[in-house]
Structure 1
């Protein structure tokens, strides 16, 4: 029931509001018609009663003179003379043609009637009255005043005029007709209002449905309405906006495909030169640098390109939002510059070879926690942290790429990083987060983080286990047999280099 009542809410749509306005207007018109009709009916009835009273009074006066002319003893004239007298007075007074003249005695018996009518005798009282005849018809009875004909009064004769009435009880048939006409006019006005509302809002409803289809991605665009009204202007504005967004999307897709093609071309080149291990290692290093640049400078430049295009559109369509978007563009540029500087610093300083894998990971985790604000927990065994040969640099790159992917895609709140001595001359790196997770086997066009991690793990012949599910976070485990290099620091298990012992929570 409440759903149907909500559908009648005029705030839900313009058509409902206009329809309600039409209904209220029609009711007001009906009320006005009833008021005017009632006033007109009362005026007409008053005029009718006055005319009948004049006719009865004039007839009584004429009969008074005729009775007095009969001789010393007053008496009514003969019927033929009475008929002529009544016709003469009727010709002068011009009453309703349906009016009948009756002369009644004291018992209200009919002494004379012209023209003859119903057999039953209505009760004649002074003034006028509304009565029901024997055939069920409503009649108006008007009796002449008693003081208008003293002679007739002395003879016990009363003059009455009877004619059919448009009234019926406390409301007449005429009033019923007026009421019915008012109701019909009200219904007609309401129907016209509803039809006008539907015609007025049909174009707007069609435009709304098309916009909803575009929002639900079931349609590519809208059919711009014709005309010069507000709906046509709004439709054309929507069309231009959708066209601009579609063009921007196509340009971004084209740029992404070009980047994918370039990366795929470089990957195929590396695969062709895989036979020469030394040259393949050089090529893979170049590819790593390309990935770093893609994940830092290219990503930042892509965001800057999007911001510039957004600023151009805002400048043309919504200048008021320009200041806020400029601030956003400045923030994107600042973050990109910071990432570029960090990348250059890491290229200049080989922290893994100089400090060991444990200390290098500690610094990377600290910087990551400071930049992202995530809850970080890092721990490292002294023996595993002392590992510092060229393979340790690759392990460090894998950890950096994993943290970078967590920052950009995981939406995590807590990250745990551990570097442990797995025994038998092997170390184990574990990175886990509580983010949204993903499907490691599903393709991710335009993203090469997981692919790069697997390539780096294959390069150093490490065992890589990547476990993740949508909504269940992700866990990366890398196991590498390092042999005696892991104990390069000291035989007693204490690393003399700074950062050799780690076990702290960072936030």
Structure 2
């Protein structure tokens, strides 16, 4: 039931809305017809009653003159005379031909009637105008003449009545029923015409909607544009242009997608190639780092052992008495080389710089250097610079180790200074100075790669290296590295590391 009620909803389709509009319009027309019909019926009945009243009044006046006899005696004329008077009144008043004239006494008995062959039903009451039903069920209109216009007839107890059949039935007579039926028929006819008009109006729109729905469901490739110049045709052409535009955009989007896929594939291959190159570069850098580490540890130890072996051979040939002492020295060199190799492996496994910070790592390195060499070593570090601990800090630490190692082997110094300072503007500064024999930094020393390794390390991390030395005047190494604005005065690196190291001279 609810489905049928929903089908009558005018918001569901234009056809239903137009059909409802037609029904409402037809009902309004029917109501207007009923109103006009009722007004016309009332006007017609009033006109009929007025005409009957004129006829009855005219007849009463004429009979008033006929009842006055000689000597002032009042008496009804003969039936023949009464018939002539009635005919004369008919000719003058022009009543309905079906109208009957009745003369009634006080008991409402018929004294005279015309036409005489008519069988009249005696009304029970005689107002001036009334609608009554006769014995045969026929509706009759009864109009009585006013007694004030015929005092003689009133003295005789005679009343003039005019009776004629009526088409009305009470206040809703036959004529009104006919008007109502006609109005209903006209309403139904108008509703049918409205429905047909709505179906015709919406048929093309329904066809267009069906085509659009098929295109949306991918059941059709396109729509057939309606012919004509009405709204449906304009809407259909608009849908057609929109569909063509969407197809063109879809084709362009597909083409763009294919081009993007090709570019992505090309970029993917390029990224893969760059990743392979990056991996190879990382391998090369790691090889270079291992080479530097080997040079910094095993190469030095092996070189010293080679020197000891040569010395032993010479002593064996020329001075055998010193051979035992030199063997002990060679054993000490081998032990020291083994210790350095183990330290190097330990450093590879345990990253002291990353774990403790550059300052703590340098402090430990200077302590070990002082203990091993017996030199006077002083170390100081600014707290902020000491907390530097990223991957560049490892390189700075290796530069410091190499510098200390070169001092031990070549400088013949008595005093060494190591300082890790905050240089301002986000830079740190590593300074290592000794009072040794010095050397010429611009000269080449075949077989020695310490200074070369230090320069390579500095270049690798983007640091500025200053190496000041000359023969007999000691050596001063200064390394400056920009680590970022967080190293400015008053800044905080955010590291919470133990600050260890020598404060003041370190004695072996």
Q: Does 1:241 align with 2:242?
A: yes
Q: 1:300 to 1:69 in 2, by over 3 A?
A: farther
Q: 1:47 to 1:208 in 2, by over 3 A?
A: same
C-alpha distance in 2, partners of 1:103/1:31? 43
C-alpha distance in 2, partners of 1:106/1:70? 25
Tell me the residue number matched to 2:206.
205
C-alpha distance in 1, partners of 2:201/2:70? 82
Tell me the residue number matched to 1:100.
100
C-alpha distance in 2, partners of 1:221/1:341? 39
Kindly report which structure 2 residues correspond to 1:118-267, keeping only aligned pairs within 5 A, or say none.
118-246=119-247
Tell me the residue number matched to 1:56.
56
Q: 1:126 to 1:230 in 2, by over 3 A?
A: closer
Shift of 1:247: 5.8
C-alpha distance in 1, partners of 2:12/2:72? 90
Contact kept in structure 2, 1:124 and 1:142, CA below 8 Å: no
C-alpha distance in 2, partners of 1:220/1:352? 53
Deviation readout 1:473-505 (Å, 9 max, x if unpaired): xxxxxxxxxxxxxxxxxxxxxxxxxxxxxxxxx
Deviation readout 1:137-193 (Å, 9 max, x if unpaired): 000100111111111111111100000112212311111111111111111111111
Q: Does 1:30 align with 2:30?
A: yes
SS at match of 1:171: coil
Shift of 1:69: 3.6
Q: Does 1:299 align with 2:225?
A: no
**How large is the Cα RMSD of the aligned pairs?**
2.6
Shift of 1:31: 0.9
SS at match of 2:131: strand
Deviation readout 1:34-93 (Å, 9 max, x if unpaired): 111111111111111111111111101110100004654211111111111100011001
C-alpha distance in 2, partners of 1:157/1:129? 19
Tell me the residue number matched to 2:275.
349
Contact kept in structure 2, 1:105 and 1:158, CA below 8 Å: yes
C-alpha distance in 2, partners of 1:188/1:31? 15
Q: 1:119 to 1:97 in 2, by over 3 A?
A: closer
SS at match of 2:184: helix
Shift of 1:216: 1.5
Give the total of aligned pairs.
281
SS at match of 1:349: helix
C-alpha distance in 2, partners of 1:345/1:241? 42
Gaps of 5+ in 2: 284-508
Shift of 1:4: 1.5
Contact kept in structure 2, 1:126 and 1:144, CA below 8 Å: no
SS at match of 1:12: coil
C-alpha distance in 2, partners of 1:82/1:71? 21
C-alpha distance in 1, partners of 2:262/2:173? 88
TM-score under structure 1 length normalisation: 0.52
Tell me the residue number matched to 1:65.
65
Shift of 1:119: 3.9
C-alpha distance in 1, partners of 2:110/2:262? 115
C-alpha distance in 1, partners of 2:103/2:218? 92
Kindly report which structure 2 residues correspond to 1:268-287, keeping only aligned pairs within 5 A, or say none.
none
C-alpha distance in 2, partners of 1:39/1:300? 87
Shift of 1:242: 3.2
C-alpha distance in 1, partners of 2:98/2:156? 28
Whose radius of gyration is greater, 1 or 2?
2
Contact kept in structure 2, 1:70 and 1:77, CA below 8 Å: no
SS at match of 1:210: helix
Gaps of 5+ in 1: 257-293, 302-335, 357-507
C-alpha distance in 2, partners of 1:147/1:57? 10
C-alpha distance in 2, partners of 1:344/1:95? 117
Deviation readout 1:268-327 (Å, 9 max, x if unpaired): xxxxxxxxxxxxxxxxxxxxxxxxxx99x64276xxxxxxxxxxxxxxxxxxxxxxxxxx
C-alpha distance in 1, partners of 2:282/2:87? 139
C-alpha distance in 2, partners of 1:70/1:215? 109
Shift of 1:355: 6.1
Kindly report which structure 2 residues correspond to 1:293-332, keeping only aligned pairs within 5 A, or say none.
298-299=260-261
Shift of 1:10: 1.2
Q: 1:38 to 1:70 in 2, by over 3 A?
A: farther
C-alpha distance in 1, partners of 2:52/2:74? 26
C-alpha distance in 1, partners of 2:100/2:125? 13
C-alpha distance in 1, partners of 2:191/2:64? 60
Q: 1:135 to 1:227 in 2, by over 3 A?
A: same
Q: 1:52 to 1:124 in 2, by over 3 A?
A: farther
Q: 1:119 to 1:40 in 2, by over 3 A?
A: closer
Kindly report which structure 2 residues correspond to 1:362-377, keeping only aligned pairs within 5 A, or say none.
none
Contact kept in structure 2, 1:124 and 1:141, CA below 8 Å: no
Contact kept in structure 2, 1:106 and 1:157, CA below 8 Å: yes
Q: 1:91 to 1:111 in 2, by over 3 A?
A: same
Q: 1:300 to 1:6 in 2, by over 3 A?
A: farther
